[in-house]
Structure formats: structure tokens, C-alpha cells
Structure 1
Amino acid sequence: MRRPLIPLLVLAVMAALSGCATRADAGGRLPVVAAFYPLQFVSERVGGDLVTVTNLTKPGAEPHDVELSPRQVARISDAKVAVYLHGFQPAVDDAIEQNAAARGFDVSSAVTLEHADEAEEESGHEHGATDPHVWLDPTRLAAIGDAVAERLALADPPHAADFRARAATLRQQLTELDGEFSAALSTCQRRELVTGHTAFHYLAERYHLTQVGITGVDPEAEPSPRRLAEVAADARAHGTTTIFFETLVSPKVAETIAREVGATTAVLDPLEGLIDPDADYFSVMRANLASLTTALGCTS
């Protein structure tokens, strides 16, 4: 008569063990994978010492066309949460769909992706009509941080309050950064932002600038002679003094336009990946702000 109880006891033990398995690594932390740097940054800030975050894009690598090694795919399979941006990295999309579909978190569910600016139409870029670089608007990154906190809370309910508290701290820091940008960029002599590729739509929209991209969102796209002539004419008409190029991308196109119009070049970092190991999202964004205020003739 007691035999039917045995399977029930086994199931109860298995259920208890599966609940403990949410904290799977040797240090008792939640294993998380992040597709590229801004998502790594948010996951680490929100997760703190409760998570171990693996970035699927190596430092200094261009993330758009990343290819994953078998070891990275195994990391995705083992992760309790996989944070990514659907459509930005096809290889990551495929790996998560095949190995962690139920554990993947697409951050585009937390923000609205918008149409890219001019130059995108002739680039034929694989991302289609939307610009993925939402993290360059600190307020949108704050929304992503809140959403990541909820996803981590779902994976590790006992620490939900910790994740939410860290997300609130991150939101406050990003709000302060947003205030710095708003104040510094409110007094600029020029508001046209000429960039090597169209990665700064959200930054320009947030701070009332006009982005003029030489190429579309794809950093590898080659501009047509017609597009080069259009950008040069626009730069002359607005008295542009600086043509921006991005980290991880050749500056040759920006240098061509700069020579044509008698301007200088400077770096504006789209923060797709870090080169300096001592830098982080905040330091790079503040370096971007310094470059912008100089190039656009902003007064304090």
C-alpha cells in the first residue's frame, strides 16, 4: 500500500533540486550570456554579484557579423538567461533560438526600434528599416535595465528585490547622464552631426541634433559617389567643422569628406564594443559628449 508514495517522493525531491538549480555556477551565481557590450554592461549592473555574465562578442570585435564558436554556443545552452537584440546579430539569434529559446530575452521588447536616418535607403542594410543602436539614448537603456531586472527576477525569484533595486540605481545614474547631455548640447552653434555610418539616430533624436550619415547603419557599406557629394554639400552649407568616424571601423570615408570640405575628424563611439578595458558605458558616453560639444561649438 506504501509503494505509490515512492514516485511521489522522488518527484518532490526532483522538484526541490530543480528549484535550487537556478543558481548553477560554482559561486552560486546565475549564469547569463549577453550578446554584445551594452547588454553585458546592463546585465552586470543589474545582476551584480548574483550573476556571472559572458559577453558573446570579444572585446574589440565588430559585433554585427559575429560568428560563434562551439564553446560560446555551449555557454548559451548553459545560461539561465540569454540577453540579446533580435536582428542585430543573426548568428546569436539562431543560436539562442536553437539552444535557449525559452531562456532568451530580446531587449527590443522593452523599447521601440525606429527607422534609421538618411543614407539607410541606399545602403540596403540587413537590419531593414530600423536602427538597433538604442543604447545611445540613456533613457532607453534605463528601460532596458528595468526589463532585464524583471527577466532576472523571473529566473531567480528569491533575489527579485535585489535586481530591481540595482535597476533603480542604474536608472538614476542614466538619468543623471541624460541631464548632462541635455544641458551641454542645448547651447550649440551647430546641430548637424556628420557621421561615418548612421548609428546615432537615437542620440540625435534625444538631444535635438540632425544626423547626416555618410553610409547607413552597416559600417561596412560603401557610399556611392552621389552620396559622398550630397554629404559634402550638406557639410559646407552648415559650416561643419568635424566629421565623425567610429571605433572598430576604418576612418577612410570620414577622412575623404573632411578633406573635401576642410574639416577635421574625431571619434564618436557607437559603443558596440569596448577597446579600452578600463572604460565602461559611462566613461565612453562622457567622452562622446566632450567630442560633441567641441565639434558643435557648444558653450557651457
Structure 2
Amino acid sequence: MSSSSAVEADGLHKRYGSTVAVDDVSLSIASGEVFGILGRNGAGKSTTVELIAGLRRADRGTVRVLGLDPWQDRARLRQVLGVQLQSSHLHSALTVTELVRLFRAFYRDPLGTDELIESVGLTDSRSVRFERLSGGQQQRLSIALTLAGRPRVVILDELTTGLDPEARRHMWSTVASLRDSGVTALLVSHAMEEIERLCDRVALLDAGRVVALDSPSGLISRVGFSRRVTFRVAEAVPVGLLEKLDGVDQVRADNGRVVVEGRGDLLQTVSVALVRAGVVATETRSEQATLDDAFLALTGRRPDHHEDVSR
């Protein structure tokens, strides 16, 4: 394991009956990196992070987290690894404060109770029992418990599921603070904006395999275009008008809707050409290529937004 790596997974394979959930996955995650895992339902995302965390045993392959084997060094790993999964099963009768104090007792040098509660915005709910918290509040509490032991590596599975926009931004700020303090974060998410905003690199999983690994901008660059302009016209656009423009890579027209893909200041280029040709365009929109587009280009499918069933 490299001295600069926090997580090394080599050739991970996991099968459930006749279904291969994880198929030869290898990852190397640097210390202090926010690393994203992206994929459709059943792609193997949650199984992969559970193998890394030692919650499941791989059929073959090896994992090291900070040089520790998740199975052989389980007790030592618990002191430096924090894991937050999609569903939390906590004692329903205990309050927020009681649960935080309970989890702090598991560690040698935990963060303070008030600090943890405040970090996830639950100060006003500190005396509320777990069963009376909303789903979003339960999610925020699970994150506080994940951070209780000052972990050097954290696994966050669907970090902001069920959170309102303000709480989501708060969690993003928390992840940014973890990075600033040198903590390594492994983030599983369906939220493309979240991945683009937070992650240094992203592994795209499809059918249990890593099909691409790059920075978010690097993945987007594989789409083949950087800009897209769409508009509607009442009459057909003159043949060849748009295809010959500098920076235009592709033009598609269907039932009066025209899509132009290319590079540079595409909106101005297309708009000037249409005006000069006397073509009236309506409903004009300019978009930049996104991680959604990259996902489609690399897998042939759009991502979905439901719970991963690859467990």
C-alpha cells in the first residue's frame, strides 16, 4: 500500500448465488481525498463499500484501510474508520444526546457531545427521542455518530438522502471541512450535483465493474461535447447552416426541435447564424455538459435515483 493511500482495494469479487455484485473492482484512494462511487441500481456500489468497511467478506481480492485488514484488524480499524450507511437502526427510545454520548464511549478520544450535535444542526432536537425524529433528522444524527471518534477515513452512503436543501448544503460544508482536516471520504451518491461539487475523483460502476475512473470534469470531457444549445423553429433550418459553423460537432432535428452540440461560445455562434439566415428560434436554451451526460455516454443509460439493491 502506498504511503499516500488511505484505501487500497485490489481485485474485489462478490457473488450472491448466481448474481455477481462486484466483479474485479480495484480502487486506490489517496489520503485526504473525497472519492465518489457512482452507478445505477444494482451496479454494486453499496456492496463495494461494505467490502471496504469489512461489513461483508469478499469472495476474493484484498482490502487495506490505512494499512489495516478490515477482518483481521477489525478492532483497530473501528478506531479510525467511520461508516454511515443508508439505513440506521438505533435505539428508538434514546434521545439525540444519549445516542451521541453512547457512541462517544466507544472511542479513546471522541469529539465533544455538543460539537457533534451542532455540526449536524440538531441542537434544537438534542432532547428528542430517535423514534420522534424525522427521516432527515435521523440521517443527520447517523452522520454525527459516524464522526464521533475523529475518524481518519469515513464512508458516507447516500449522505444527503431525505435532507431538505438547507440541511444538504450543511452536509456538503461538513464534507468540505473533513477534507480540509485531512480526512479521507468515500462518498456513494445518486446526486450528480453532490458528486460534482464534492468529489476529487469518481469511479463509475456498471454491472459490478469499474467502467471509468476520473475527476468529475474528466468524466464530463468524455461526453464528446462541452455545450448544448436547443431551440424550436416553425420552419426547417436550411440544410448545412449549422453543421458548418466553427465549434459545432453535431446537429439533430426532430419535429421542430433542434439540438446543437459543440464547443466554445456555442449559443452566440448559433444565434448569429440563425439571425443572418432569417430563422426565428424560440424556447432557446444553452446547457453545459454534465455528469448525467457523462453517465449516459459511458453506460448507455441514464442514472436512476432509488436505493441501491446490490446489497
TM range (shorter): under 0.3
TM-score when normalising by structure 2 = 0.22
If the length of structure 1 is used for normalisation, what is the TM-score?
0.22
Question: Which has the higher Rg, Structure 1 or Structure 2?
Answer: 2
Higher RCO (CA 8 Å, separation ≥ 6 residues): 2
The structure with more strand, counted as a fraction of residues: 2
